[in-house]
Amino acid sequence: MSCRRDKLAILLWSATPERPALCATPFVHAAAAAAFDCKVEIHFAGPAVRLLVAGVADGMRPWPGVETSIYQMLRQATNLGVELRACAMAMGALVGKDEALIPEYAGTIAASAFVDRALDPEWATLVF
């Protein structure tokens, strides 16, 4: 009997536009899990929702000298099937109604959804 889970929920809350060095790893891990045929969701909370605003992640590099933008890393993950969801409360508070969102964004999700994933033995969770 295998104990390997094939579902991964990632909570992004400290990886924010103000901290680009923290933003690469969650997308790399999401892409890696998706490459292993895992169902992967990234739940954006708090200031991390700003990464979903068009142009924000595209202008970010995790470290000086790195050519790949955070947006390119995000797209690599979504191209492998990773789903991007955001906290409705954070979106309402931190994203303006007139701000465009990236096309990869899949919509809002309640905070309770991540908690449900964390309590479900079929899901693994990571927090960044």
pLDDT single digits (tens) 17-65: 999 999 999 999 999 999 999 999 999 999 999 999 999 999 999 999 9
The pTM of the full predicted model, rounded to 2 decimals, is: 0.93
In terms of Cα–Cα distance, which of 128, 126, 78 is closest to 104? Answer: 78
Q: How far apart are CA 120 and CA 79, in angstroms?
A: 26
Residue 55's region, left for phi above 0, alpha for psi from -120 to 50, else beta, is: left
Residue 79: which pLDDT band, with cuts at 50, 70 and 90? very high
The CATH class that applies to domain 7-127 reads alpha beta
Sort 103 into a burial class: Cβ within 10 Å, 0-12 / 13-18 / 19+.
Answer: exposed
Per-residue confidence (pLDDT) for residue 2, from 0 to 100: 52
* Contact of 76 with 31, CB cutoff 8 Å: yes
Q: How far apart are CA 100 and CA 98, in angstroms?
A: 7
